[in-house]
Amino acid sequence: MKIKFAEFALPRSGALVVGVTEGRKLTPSAERVDLRMKRTLSRAIKNSRFKGEKGQFLEVAAPTGLSITRVIAAGLGKANELNALAWESVGGAIVGRVNAAGDRDVAIAVDEITDSPRDGTSAAADVGFGARLGSYRFDRYRTKEPAEKKPTLKMATVMVKDAAKAKRAYGAKDRLADGVFLTRNLVSEPANVIFPKALSERAQALKDLGVNVEALGRERMRELGMNALLGVAQGSANEPQLIVMHYDGSAGAQEQPIAFVGKGVTFDSGGISIKPAQGMEEMKWDMAGAGAVIGTMHALAARKAKVNVVGIAGVVENMPSGTAQRPGDIVRSMSGQTIEVINTDAEGRLVLADALWYTADRFKPRLMVDLATLTGAIIISLGDQYAGLFSNDDDLSEKLTKAGKAVGEELWRFPLSKAYDKLIDSPIADMQNISSGRGAGSITGAQFIQRFVGKVPWAHLDIAGVAWSKNDRPTVPKGGTGFGVRLLDRFVADNFES
């Protein structure tokens, strides 16, 4: 679906969307259209339950005095709550509504609204961005889908007073959407398509955007002593990869890079500690952390962000076989610390142990943020609304939380302390990979990871509950969400590009 911007004009075909705020207050564009329709729209609103509340729609088909298919009144809610996220939600919801109706084109009128925190130009860019995000669909493997279930919308025209300015504001958002879509695609692909080397090959495309990309294979990682990561991979026929991506748009202004590190388990069977069969097919998205890092690198490079950033993805497949790691095995990590593997299904922290140590040792970053679908326990705690945040640095935590709130990818901070740290002490090695008790599973996972970051300011985002959605939302269709890309992009923009 294409997005374009234009000055306001009544379209000759397709659908037209106008806004109505809470209390049935028509926007200026809605007033003009209503007059052209001989007040059919306002009469329809008066004789309905439509009050202009957020998420409400009212449709007038074959409107009087117009040649278009339908006029849709979109409820905008309270004017003073029309922030960027609210406008994005409007754009995404419109796409769903118009596709359901079967139109190929839609024109969306965006007005200056008194008391709204967004001016008309910014709001128009937000609506276009929301429409783009809401148009996402992963359907490349469907061969017999009925025509009536396929999306019909091909063009969305956002109409606003200063269309040229809105188009410029939308440009960076469009490139950000490309990064989100890349992550959604990677997470949605089945594990027979996205395995470690295949993910590494997809990452190579970032070179076209000016990102330096290299991939370390099994032999190089063995030379480096990455036995924690390699231990997870040893049961699989697919060779593991450490994908190293470096983009420097700072023109030398930032000597130390910031670093994003992602867990990339392209399929997680649990290994010898095998998972239950029910729901195991979902474990194709256990590489969502790595996918988010790749998507973020794409977004930053595509919009030529003025930042020095490194993206690292530790990519493995966790499988049971005659060569698989066993419960009770002890491995020596790249850091030299030894780990007793009590449960082979607690594999992500083993991957991150070596990936984070490698990142800190090679790049000496000013900070590190890792993303991982690490624990089922975080889903018990937060469901699918927030990701868990763990950090050794208050300032970093606050900045990430603020960025997440701004883009609707929210974080909730959990504690770290020596009391929890004791739960992963091993009687025969430096540590064990799961807690000796049943409680605080997400916290002890983060405590484990913390042992491999040294003194670098670090944050761990447990995204297990938010990487995949089983329900449609206006800007996040069911499936891979792309969580993390918008958050990290905003974190960079707010703190390293000003």
C-alpha closest to that of 370 among 433, 457, 307, 436: 457
Residue 70 to residue 62: CA distance in whole angstroms: 5
C-alpha closest to that of 496 among 409, 413, 396: 396
Asked if 362 and 372 touch (Cβ cutoff 8 Å), the reply is no
Catalogue the active-site residues.
275, 349
Residue 184 to residue 180: CA distance in whole angstroms: 6
Q: What would the DSSP string read from start to end of 329-363?
A: -EEE-TTS-EEE-S-TT--HHHHHHHHHHHHHHHH
pLDDT of residue 59: 97
Q: Which amino acid is at 138?
A: F
Q: How far is residue 166 from each of residues 3, 17, 18, 178, 493, measured CA to CA in Å?
A: 12, 18, 18, 18, 19
C-alpha closest to that of 273 among 95, 454, 434: 434
C-alpha closest to that of 70 among 117, 23, 37: 37
Give the domain ranges of the chain: 2-161, 177-496
The C-alpha angle with vertex 470 and arms to 477 and 130, in degrees rounded to 5, equals 20
DSSP letter assigned to residue 473: B
Residue 321 to residue 348: CA distance in whole angstroms: 18
Residue 219 to residue 36: CA distance in whole angstroms: 72
Assign domain 177-496 to a CATH class: alpha beta
Would you state the torsion angle of the CA atoms of residues 25, 31, 33, 34, taken in this order, to the nearest 10 degrees? 70
Residue 201 to residue 81: CA distance in whole angstroms: 43
The third-level CATH classification (topology) of the domain covering 2-161 is: Leucine Aminopeptidase, subunit E; domain 1 (3.40.220)
pLDDT of residue 246: 98
Asked if 420 and 434 touch (Cβ cutoff 8 Å), the reply is no
Going from the first residue of the chain to its last (498 residues), give the mean pLDDT of each consecutive group of 10, the final group possibly shorter.
97 97 98 97 97 98 95 98 98 97 97 96 98 96 89 97 97 98 98 98 98 98 98 98 97 89 98 97 98 98 97 98 98 98 98 98 98 98 97 98 98 97 96 93 98 98 97 96 98 93
